[in-house]
Structure 1
Amino acid sequence: MLGGANVARQLFAKHFKLQQHVDYLSKTRVSVAVATPGRLQQLLEQGALSLAALSHVLLDESHRDAKERTLCAVPELRTEVVALMRGALGTRIREGNVQVVVY
């Protein structure tokens, strides 16, 4: 819990299977979800997450991996971000319902 908000922080952890995340989200109402772009896309496709109440998407461009690469510098992640923006998330952003914050 974060100030009354339930935060799902483990949605990016590779040691959890997709079905474990789907099961968790089916039982838990979350206010904040922390996920990689690819896992976020999978959860949206599974219907485990809804965009209905989404107001903000935070892209953490400040994080650097072991090779000192950022989110946009890793080709696979960049591709996943573009795929998200072309789907339902991008539609909500273009409609003005969701703001993108780059950190």
Structure 2
Amino acid sequence: MLVLCSSALRSLELIKSMTAFKGDCRVIKLFAKHIKIKEQMNMLEKGMFHIGVGTPGRVKALVEQDALCLNATKYMILDWNWRDQKLRRMMDIPEIKKETIDLLEKSIIKLCRDGSVKLGLF
């Protein structure tokens, strides 16, 4: 499962709230704040993760560099309705909107059409 959020702080918030129910699932942080892309590439190469939580920009960059393969992804969740301090949703922020649409167009929509990925809005 892949969860896309508007910011690294929101991603961390969701990861913390998952601890109650994730059990043995392995979660990976997929955002740029304090984590270099090379570190994430190494982590993705070394292990399997059940849940990825991050920002569209970092996920898109990892997909473009072939570090993150979406073929095994079953669900993609967009953190659609959450609002930041300025009451902006994910698609109200121009940079996030562009990166999200790019990621959807280049990678996700094809997988959804094939039936291998289900897209959800949260």
TM-score (norm 2): 0.76
Question: In structure 1, what is the equivalent of residue 36 of structure 2?
Answer: 17
CA RMSD of aligned residues (A): 1.5
Equivalent AA in structure 2 for residue 69 of structure 1: R
Query: CA shift at 1:64, angstroms?
Result: 1.9
- In the other structure, the counterpart of 2:74 is 55
CA distance in 2, matches of 1:13, 1:64: 20
AA at the equivalent of 2:60:
Q
Contact 2:32 2:58 in 1 (8 A): no
Unaligned regions of 5+ residues in structure 2, if any?
1-18
- Structure with more relative contact order (C-alpha pairs < 8 Å, separation 6 or more): 2
1: CA distance between counterparts of 2:98 and 2:79? 15
Aligned residue type for 1:3: G
Amino acid at match of 2:70: L
For residue 49 of structure 2, the aligned residue among 30, 42, 51 is 30
Q: Aligned to 1:20, what secondary structure does the other structure show?
A: helix
Measured in 2, the distance between the counterparts of 1:96 and 1:88 equals 13
- What percent identity do the matched residue pairs reach? 34
Gaps of 5+ in 1: none
May I ask how many residue pairs the two structures share in their alignment? 102
Q: Secondary structure at the match of 2:24?
A: coil
AA aligned to 2:79 is D
